[in-house]
Amino acid sequence: MNRKWPAISAVCALFAVLTFAGCYRPVRYPELVDTHVPPAIVSAARYHIVGTSVHGRPIMCLGLGQGPDVALIMATIHGNEPAGTPLVRRLAMHLRQHPEMLSGRKVVLLRVANPDGLAHNSRYNIHGVDLNRNFEAANRLNSRQSGLTALSEPESRAIRQVILQYKPDRIVSIHQPLACIDYDGPAQGLAERMGQYCALPVKKLGARPGSLGSYAGVTLGIPIITFEMLGSDSQLDSEALWQKYGKALVAAVVYPNPAQ
């Protein structure tokens, strides 16, 4: 018998005992280990599938941190507005590089809310429904384009499930191309704060029937920002997008604290 086996067995047994005792937990993002942040915060990153599109594409959510303050940042509910997706991915990288931002909060990232629409460069889902008109808001109007009933689409049901599950304190939904920071619900302060960190003006566009803004902001009373970037932002890579808008997103994550 190999003489190393007793030593290896002893190490394995020690890990088993420590794991059982709750002293050792595997860290999912080892690049973050060398920080001053407790490992529990770092290891609290979780991808999970919150739903599937009409064509079976997964709708993925990433939760970072585990504090009581929750920010939901999402993109591309309109599939022909793709620039928010690399921007949210870049935000995830920033949060991993700066885990101190996760102290006391959880950040929930939903990069592609309408994956079929993104695949087909379409505003709508595969049923031809505008998901941002499909929510159960008081101002909802039933139609083919808004869905014949509220939440008729699996993608809008997945988004609602994320909101009900995580109970975000604020939401940012990234769109194009109207070049402004729109808001619904009690979000004027958040909109103005984000406006301090990017070139987009704060502009109230008005509640659209059955929109996520109407549902989350007016019906549920959650501050929600409709972050309208430029159409030409689709030409930018994630670093260029981050230079233009990263600080504004960070400001939303750490609100009401000022962004660093």
> Which chain residues interact with Zn ion by CB under 5 A?
78, 81, 175
Question: In the complex, what is the shortest distance from the CB of residue 175 to Zn ion, in angstroms, rounded to a whole number?
Answer: 3
Q: Which is nearer to Zn ion, 213 or 223 (CB)?
A: 213
Residue 155 tokens read as: 């993608």
129 in helix, strand or coil?
Answer: coil
Tokens describing residue 71 = 């920010």
Smallest distance, Å, CB 241 to Zn ion? Answer: 16
Phi (first) and psi of residue 6, to 5 degrees: -60, -40
DSSP conformation letters of 2-49: -TTHHHHHHHHHHHHHHHHTTS----S-GGGSSSSS-HHHHTT-EEEE
- For residues 202 and 188, give the distance between their C-alpha atoms in angstroms, rounded to a whole number: 9
228 a catalytic residue: yes
Among residues 81 and 155, whose Cβ is nearest to Zn ion?
81
Given the residues 153, 155, 228, 239, select the one marked as catalytic.
228
- The residue among 170 and 175 lying less far from Zn ion, judged by its C-beta, is 175
CB of 225 to Zn ion, least distance (A): 13
Known catalytic residues are 228
